[in-house]
Structure 1
Amino acid sequence: MTDSGPVTAPVEPLAGYTVALTAARRREEFGAALERRGAKVVYAPAIRIVPLADDARLREATERCIAAPVDVVVATTGIGFRGWVDAAETWGLADRLVAAFESADLLARGPKARGAIRATGLREAWSPESESSSEVMSYLTAHGGLDGKRIAVQLHGEPLPDMLQTLRAAGAEVIEIPVYRWVPAQDMAPVRRVVECVAARSLDAVAFTSAPAAASFLQTADEMALRSAAAEAMRGPVVAACVGPVTAAPLGRAGIPCVIPSRGRLGALVREIVEQVPIRRGLRLRVGERALDVRGHAVAVDGVLVALPAASMTLLRALAARPGYVVSRADLLNLTGTTDEHALEVAVGRLRTSLGDPALIRTVVKRGYRLDCEPVSASSGCL
């Protein structure tokens, strides 16, 4: 963003922040919800869904479900369960498959899977509040008597080794239903750009709605030799936001903390981002008589948003990190990547002009610059 100047509309909670979305599905809906709250949204789908309607394994698994009674059917995703029934329709097997479901206990991992089951005219026997596969597994094992049971498990793009192994160890005959799989996006350039921005800490948050997307993001960072820098940034100022614990698992294994809503819904994830990004990324200060809210690529001065170019934001963040303390010319020159002290003076002058009050930044002769407030730690400088 290169333009600067005041915006007189009310400052939205995410105004001045940039959020990257790795979602393959519902990304427009997700992005629009964030944009309504002021965010700048960067789209970088990390994966795509490949249906397996013509896959021989899916047809063979479907025929096994029809050939003999199935005791339990586990639907893990709505799109997957619907895709299974649609594929059976193309083979002329849909009626027989739904008839096989009628005698089985239908377990839905979440509300979307539950809705897909009901769309066939059937009702689920049980669905967990947590929407997790582990709770489905706990439900099955708690009810015991799995020996000899025939259980069909609809996979959701990647294997479920823990569930499948546990069921088989308990004596169940498990039929794996591979309805679709996740593969890297056709164009990975946007993901690579996001990885670079995360490593450079120029993004405020990255949102994930599936575990395969999180894994793809990390794999891309590995391929770019930026895994360490990106992970370190996401342990610090860059917020990793995940729709649920299953999605967060690949990041957790990499030691990256995630913000996760209490309910695994897109709307809940939006609310979590709205709440957490300003807390974790923003900095509110009292400078002179002015209230400054330093954001990702902008600053609100007394409630008026001022968009700043990258160089000005770099300077302001350096000064705001140690409110009231002098930041040396050498440090600021190093941050801006120049050795020209006159260029630094010009950059500081532009920042003062953008803020609308030159007195907010004081020059300390022969030393550097500081914000015009009593020296405090950054953490205690909040309003």
Structure 2
Amino acid sequence: ANVATRGYKTLSTLKKMDINPVATDGDGTTQSLLLSLEEFDFKGKKVMVQLHGEKAPRLIKFLEDRGAHVFKVLPYQHIAPNSEIVKKLCNELMNNEIDAVCFTTAIQVRSLFDFAKEHDYYQEIRQVFKEQVVAVAVGKVTAEALKEEEIQRIIVPEKERMGAMIIELSRFYAN
């Protein structure tokens, strides 16, 4: 089987197993992986996609649009946070009680904004991030999810680690 991979951790693990992917991302993002997959013919091919807690709609659509029969494997599942806690976060955001929100996964981004959409807070929450609250992403993939929600004020550390994320946030406020 041919293997494609996104993310440096997965690539490192595959290399340790002597598995050389035919396609990889250039920067850790789904968009970059999609660009590296454009040269392949998927018409009539069976493609298994291991998901990491979310559905990866852009990747699945990309493959299906090119004729692949996609089989999804979901070994990890995201369990949505308690709705009262998310509602409290939304209220605190809308009441200007929060200066920054740290996101450590794309799933967290989608979870917050899906909740906001379901409860008619979406436009207000997006406006809060546009004007007052800083979004802090642990890395490029999380930042990509924020950009998909049209959030532009994003702090992203060069080194994709939680500690680096907090240091970048402290530098932002020190300036």
TM-score > 0.5 by shorter chain: yes
Could you tell me which residue of structure 1 aligns to residue 129 of structure 2? Answer: 234
The number of aligned residues is 173
Could you tell me which residue of structure 1 aligns to residue 102 of structure 2? Answer: 207
1:129 corresponds, among 9, 13, 26, to 26
CA shift at 1:249, angstroms?
4.7
SS of 2:62's equivalent in the other structure is helix
Distance 1:128 1:253 in 2: 18
SS of 1:184's equivalent in the other structure is coil
Could you tell me which residue of structure 2 aligns to residue 165 of structure 1? Answer: 61
Alignment RMSD: 2.9
Computing the radius of gyration over CA atoms, which structure comes out larger, 1 or 2? 1
1:108 touches 1:124 (CA, 8 Å); kept in 2? no
1:215 touches 1:250 (CA, 8 Å); kept in 2? yes
CA shift at 1:214, angstroms?
1.4
> Normalised by the size of structure 1, how large is the TM-score?
0.39
Could you tell me which residue of structure 2 aligns to residue 260 of structure 1? Answer: 156
1:131 touches 1:264 (CA, 8 Å); kept in 2? no
Change (3 A) 1:161 1:196: closer
Distance 1:206 1:223 in 2: 20
Name the % identity: 25
Distance 2:134 2:76 in 1: 30
Q: Deviations over 1:205-263 (max 9, x none)?
A: 10112222112222434555544443332222321112345424554354432223345
For structure 1, the residue ranges without an aligned partner over 5 or more in a row are 1-70, 73-105, 280-383
For structure 2, the residue ranges without an aligned partner over 5 or more in a row are none
Distance 2:116 2:45 in 1: 43
Q: Deviations over 1:135-177 (max 9, x none)?
A: 22221222x3444544321122222333233333434443322
SS of 1:179's equivalent in the other structure is coil
SS of 2:25's equivalent in the other structure is coil
Distance 2:135 2:157 in 1: 12
> Normalised by the size of structure 2, how large is the TM-score?
0.75
Distance 1:152 1:243 in 2: 28
SS of 1:181's equivalent in the other structure is coil
Change (3 A) 1:218 1:146: closer
